[in-house]
Chain A
Amino acid sequence: MNTKKLITRTLFLLFLVTMLIAILVPFFAFLATSLYSSSEVYQYPRTMMPRFTYDMKITWEDDMYQLSVYEDDIEDYELKIYTNSPEKLRIYLKKQYSVQLTDEEIVADFSKSKDGTAVYMQYKKDLLYNFKTFFTITSNADKAIMNSIIAAGWTILISLSIGSMAGYTIARYRIKWKKQINLSLLIVRMFPMVAVSIPMLVYLIRMGLNGTMFGLAIVYSVGNIALTAWITNSIFQGISVELEEASLVFGANKIQTFFKITLPLAFPGLVACSMYAFLAAWNDSIVALILSNSNPTLSLLIYKAIGMSGDIQLAAAGAVILVTPSLIFTFIIKNYINQLWGDVKF
């Protein structure tokens, strides 16, 4: 009995740890990658933790600055570049080591070596270098962020307004084929979004909505309306009908009752429900590629950045930018998530 309990406990903990590792390791990997400098990315074997500072040695030989960097694996300084142009040094330091210095600083620091002694310097890495670069090399990154926010906003609005109405109807009214309708909602989710988006492109072009975020949101809403209806159904079922009836008896009409009683009670659940709509719109890149290639969303931009440039640290920076709002959003609504399953507290 006791051994059995011990074994189940151990297995459960093992499972939990495995899950945690499976989630955290990739997350940590691209978070670390986004902080790497270019030299770290191409280092083999790669370090786990990104470096924050570089120890450098500058000597003056043959009328040229000789720049060496301390490497942990050989435990010594390794010669990297020799040049007499401070500008070249500045660009090299920035590109390879994410160290941001001005020409004047370089001359001031490096010229001390001209008397023949070696100068040892420690330079701080600019940790946000990749993020800054991501915005400068992808010229429309800020517009893409805006696009993503707008698309997600419309998706939440469309799928929540239509979906919750459907959910309310299924929960409250006696209708024929109720079970079948409820089940068929999920069938909509079985179609891959890509399959839906190609014919939708034709319709969006006809309506003049292709390349707009509203058009994109319509396509995202297709699957989400069904999911929202499914979830809100259980939310509304969790709200006792007597609460609404009491409102009716005490002088409210049906519309007042909905806005004063039902909606406030369902609100936390609806907020949690909007998470799904948000994530669907925010994370998608394939549908955006088909429908709105010329006016990309953030995730599409990152998708392209990964595909085209070899700078993996830039793509990682983009991914961090992409995932942060999702995390913040989920964190804000974390208290409401339990109410997704109709757990309205009294």
Chain B
Amino acid sequence: MEYLKLTNLTKIYLKKIIAVNNMDLSIHKGEFLVLLGPSGCGKTTTMRLIAGLEAATEGDILLEGKSITGLAPKDRDVSMIFQSYAVWPHMTVYQNIAYALKLKRMSKKDIDIRVKETAKMADITEYLDRNPTNLSGGQRQRVAVARAMAVKPKLFLMDEPLSNLDAKLRVAMRTDLKKAHELLGSTTIFVTHDQSEAMSLADRIVVMNMGVIEQIGTPNEIYHDCETMFVANFIGAPPTNFFDVEIAVSNDNVMVKHGMFEFAVAKEIEASLRKYAGKIVVLGVRPENFDILPVGKGLLDSKIEFIEPQGSHTVVVIDIMGKHHKIISTGTFELKVGQEIGIDINQNNFFFDKESGKRIR
């Protein structure tokens, strides 16, 4: 059953800037959903629409089957963690956590119990009497999390909560957030532009671009089964390599022809590619789906332009017809800049329609 449902949700700023365009999305109870996209893609706007901080231009938001579109933020039973933490600097940590509970007219005793309970969960018990001004970024973040947990909301909204932390802390907090999510069984919507964050946290990822959903899927689906060229380009570091190729149908074979190479496509995709006979399509190959071979042994030969060692693997920048492409070599053999190598492309690749950018299946 759907827990939160967005139908036809649209937000237009100043009568011309379309931030969110006709968005349909349903979220299950207990799910950790990540909205992922480049800045300006409408992911934060979507979250603010759900929180009620922005009014929807069109469309409906249903929480547990009831429309919350017209409600004030305080009546929506959601809580939010902000990018700047938004911990109130003029209150102590205790007062920060108790703020929402006081407004709910809970008794002093109940508030005390709840605050202490959540503080323990967020591991900030010793800071309860302190002022947030004297806390570090990570500690403030924990206060924000505790404040959000204390109200026991129907929905957790997190707006890039980790982006202001330093890299090491970010990874630690990531684990903590995931733990808290599993502990509470809460439904969470998490906004980020950091794909590794999205991948590690999400049950499902929603990739957005220009106010439109590009793809919804599990982290694995998003990475290995891209729906559009945008997703293939946005997800993965280094991104997918694209080649404009011509489809040539000869006898039983469907061939891909590029200025430098040609090969027969896998059997599963043959039927759909037949329709594109003689036309140009886009071939997308993930950097790890190249094989590096000695010169002459592969599909094509190229020269190494740069090498970026990453420890576990090496990013090799090669030149194919004047364009730089990044491929990943996990092999241990010695590579040198300027060295001639042979490249092979394996069959784990995507074909996209050149006009629409949609995947050809």
Which A residues contact B (CB, under 8 angstroms)? 240, 242-243, 245-253, 256, 260-261, 264-265, 344-346
Partner of B103, one of A252, A264, A344: A252
Which residue of B73, B89, B132, B133 contacts A248 across the interface (Cβ within 8 Å)? B73
Given the complex of chains A and B, what is the CA–CA distance between A248 and B157 in angstroms?
14
* A245 and B74 contact, CB distance less than 8 A: no
Nearest B-chain residue to A346, judged by Cβ: B89
Instruction: Tell me how far the C-beta of B310 lies from the nearest C-beta in chain A, rounded to whole angstroms.
Output: 36
A249 to B78 CA separation, bound complex (whole angstroms): 7
Q: In the complex the two chains form, is A249's CB within 8 Å of B74's CB?
A: yes
Once bound together, how far apart are the Cα atoms of A249 and B90, in whole Å?
A: 18
The answer to whether A246 and B88 have CB atoms under 8 Å apart is: yes
User: Is B79 interfacial (CB-CB < 8 Å)?
Assistant: yes
Pairwise interchain contact B104-A346, C-beta atoms closer than 8 A: no
Chain B interface residue count, CB cutoff 8 Å, equals 25
Q: Which residues of B contact A344 (CB under 8 A)?
A: 89
- Of the A-B pairs whose beta carbons lie under 8 Å apart in the complex, a sample of 30, sorted by A's number, is A240-B86, A242-B82, A242-B83, A242-B84, A243-B89, A245-B53, A245-B80, A245-B82, A245-B86, A246-B82, A246-B88, A247-B88, A249-B51, A249-B52, A249-B73, A249-B74, A249-B79, A250-B79, A250-B100, A250-B103, A251-B74, A251-B104, A251-B151, A252-B99, A252-B103, A253-B72, A261-B88, A264-B90, A265-B90, A346-B89
Within 8 A of A (CB), among B38-88: 51-53, 72-74, 78-80, 82-84, 86, 88
A251 touches B132 (CB 8 A): no
The CA of A261 and the CA of B100, in the complex, are separated in Å by: 13
> Looking across the interface, which residue of chain A has its beta carbon closest to that of B84?
A242
CA distance A249 to B74 in the complex (A): 5
**Contact assessment for B86 and A251 in the assembled complex, using a CB-CB cutoff below 8 Å:** no
Nearest residue, chain B, Cβ from A244: B86
Q: In the complex, A236 Cα to B266 Cα: how many Å?
A: 62
Is B88 within 8 A of A253, CB to CB? no
Give the distance to chain A from B158, nearest Cβ to Cβ, in Å: 12
Report how far A240 CA is from B84 CA in the complex, Å.
9
13 other A-B residue contacts (CB within 8 Å) besides A242-B84, A250-B147: A242-B86, A243-B86, A245-B80, A246-B80, A246-B88, A248-B74, A249-B79, A251-B104, A253-B74, A264-B90, A265-B88, A265-B90, A346-B89
The contact of B80 among A249, A253, A265, by CB within 8 Å, is: A249
Partner of B99, one of A240, A245, A247: A247
State the Cβ distance, A240 to closest chain B Cβ, in Å.
6
A-chain residues with CB within 8 Å of residue B86 when the two chains form the complex: 240, 242-243, 245-246
Tell me the minimal C-beta distance from A252 to chain B in angstroms.
6
Closest to A251 in B: B103
Q: In the complex, A40→B53 CA distance in Å? A: 72
Q: Measuring CB to CB, which residues of chain B are less than 8 angstroms from any residue of chain A? A: 51-53, 72-74, 78-80, 82-84, 86, 88-90, 99-100, 103-104, 132-133, 147, 151, 157
Q: What is the bound-complex CA distance between A253 and B103, given in angstroms?
A: 10
CA distance A122 to B90 in the complex (A): 59
Minimum CB–CB distance from B111 to chain A (whole Å) comes to: 13
**Whole-angstrom distance between the alpha carbons of A247 and B72 in the complex?**
12
Query: How many whole Å from B147's CB to the nearest CB in chain A?
Result: 7
**Cα distance A251–B80 in the bound complex, in angstroms:** 11
Contacts of A345 in B (CB 8 A): 89, 133
Cβ of B100 to closest chain A Cβ, rounded Å: 4
Q: Please name all residues of chain B whose beta carbon is closer than 8 Å to the beta carbon of A251 when the two chains form the complex.
A: 74, 99-100, 103-104, 151
- Measured in the bound complex, the distance between the Cα atoms of B133 and A243 in whole Å is 14
In the assembled complex, the Cα of A289 lies from the Cα of B80 at a distance in Å of: 58
- Rounded to whole angstroms, the CA-CA distance of A242 and B47 in the bound complex is 14
Cβ–Cβ < 8 Å partners of B83 in chain A: 242
A108 to chain B, nearest CB (A): 65
CB-CB nearest in chain B for A344: B89
| A16 to B89 CA separation, bound complex (whole angstroms) | 36
Which residues of A sit under 8 angstroms from B52, Cβ to Cβ?
248-249
Taking the closest CB of chain B, its distance from the CB of A215, in whole angstroms, is: 37
State whether B79 touches A265 (Cβ < 8 A): no
Which residues does chain A contribute within 8 Å of B82, judged by CB atoms?
A: 242, 245-246
Complex Cα–Cα for A253 and B72 (A): 8
Contact among B51, B74, B78, B89 for A265, CB-based, below 8 A: B89
Nearest CB of chain A from residue B122's CB, rounded to whole Å: 16
B74 touching A243 by the CB < 8 A rule? no
**Residue in contact with A252 in the complex, picked from B53, B74, B78, B80, CB distance below 8 Å:** B74
Tell me how far the C-beta of B163 lies from the nearest C-beta in chain A, rounded to whole angstroms: 13
- Bound-state CA distance A256–B100 (Å) is 12
Give, as a whole number of angstroms, the nearest-CB distance from A75 to chain B: 64
Give bound CA distance, A243 to B82, whole Å: 9
Q: Is the CB of A249 within 8 A of B99?
A: no
Cβ of B215 to closest chain A Cβ, rounded Å? 29
B53 touches A249 (CB 8 A): yes
In the bound complex, how far is the Cα of B100 from the Cα of A253, in angstroms? 11
Closest chain-B Cβ to A170's Cβ sits at a distance in Å of: 18
Q: Which chain A residues border B151 with CB–CB below 8 Å?
A: 250-251
Q: CA separation between A264 and B89, bound complex, in Å? A: 10
Report how far A245 CA is from B243 CA in the complex, Å.
46
Alpha-carbon gap, A247 to B89, bound state (A): 13
A242 to B80, CA, bound (A): 10
Q: Which of A256, A260, A344 has the most CB of B within 10 A?
A: A260
Inter-chain CA distance A243–B132, complex, in Å, is 13
Chain B residues contacting A242 (CB-CB under 8 Å) are 82-84, 86
A24 to B80: give the CA distance in the assembly, Å: 55
Minimum CB–CB distance for A113 against chain B, Å: 72
Measured CB to CB, the closest approach of chain B to A269, in angstroms, equals 13
